[in-house]
Amino acid sequence: MATTTFSGPVQAGTVRDGSGANVGGAVLTQTATFTYTDTGAFATTIILPASAQIIDQMVDVTTAWDSGTSDALEIGTSADPDAYGDVANLQSGGRTLVDPDATQAAAIDDIGTSDVTVYLKITSSGSAASAGAARVTITYRQN
């Protein structure tokens, strides 16, 4: 598969110049998978470019976690595991859209001046999980 590398805004459409030019940032996605064996805060394969704005985060649970009480997920950075969002329980299958609180909304508005590796942290309550698989997809705008 071929790859294309670029940086900066994209121009598309018929208005080429002036204040109404069809210029905007590219919207991209990255996905990482994880399982019940991933413990503590761990790095994903998702690396967001500097100044990116996270538009959406979704978690698809393909195999439900099965610990005694609950399995919560945090999405963030190595310094702040829940900087970008939380998912209350991985014990239900299907898709969950991450709903950031006010502090997380400010963090996803602009991730900062350096590239950021996204970290996940799973916290199980009750007995340890012996099953569970999911993927997280982050949609972002390159600034």
Q: What is the pLDDT of residues 47-91, one digit of tens each?
A: 999 999 999 999 999 999 999 888 999 999 999 999 999 998 899
d(CA 139, CA 124): 27
As a whole number, the mean pLDDT across the chain is: 91
In angstroms, how far is CA 54 from the centroid of its own chain?
8
pTM of the model: 0.88
* Contact between residue 75 and residue 86 where contact means Cβ atoms under 8 Å apart: yes
Q: How confident is the model at residue 39 (pLDDT cuts 50, 70, 90)?
A: confident
Does residue 23 carry a pLDDT above 90? no
d(CA 22, CA 135): 34
Positions of E strands within 36-108 = 40-48, 53-63, 70-76, 85-87, 94-97
Does residue 15 carry a pLDDT above 90? no
Residue position matching structure tokens 């969950």: 96
